[in-house]
Amino acid sequence: MHRDMPSTSSRSAAGDAAAPATISAPSAGTLMVVDDERGIREMLRRVLERAGYRVLTAAQGGEALARFEEAAGAIDLVITDVRMPEMSGPELADRLATLREGVKILYISGYGGAIVAPHDPFGIRSVFLQKPFTMAALLEKVKEMLAGDA
């Protein structure tokens, strides 16, 4: 089992929560999901697309940086795992902040949120979501961040 992977019960619950029942208005925005675990990346992509978001994915930091630059400012929120090979989520956020001030980051991890706290000195607007989480909790957090409430 991957170090940050939701438990089997969370994954089956996540599948049940795939329909965006808690989202009252149509979703809009472009999101990027960055996670080195393909299964998690694809599950999040499917759930977010069903909720109405346009979703780009990346398996690691370098790929995420390239996609972020290609999107030319169109990415509204980056959802990234905290611990990944090559480049951590906070390192990725620091690099993204050099490309666009005020980038919004939703960190996801099975590790505590204290890991990311010291890494927000560049005006990065970030929130931490502890794994395992429900898909409803993810959708609510995304909605809050895009609305500027988080």
**What's the CATH code of the domain at 26?**
3.40.50.2300
pLDDT under 50 in the chain at which residues? 1-25, 118-119
Domain range for residue 66?
8-147
pLDDT of residue 105: 94
Task: Indicate whether 94 belongs to any domain.
Answer: yes
- The C-alpha atoms of residue 114 and residue 117 are separated, in whole angstroms, by 5
Q: Is the pTM of this model over 0.85?
A: no
pLDDT of residue 117: 52
- The C-alpha atoms of residue 52 and residue 20 are separated, in whole angstroms, by 9
pLDDT of residue 122: 54
Task: Indicate whether 2 belongs to any domain.
Answer: no
> Phi and psi dihedrals of 13, rounded to 5?
-65, -35
pLDDT of residue 140: 96
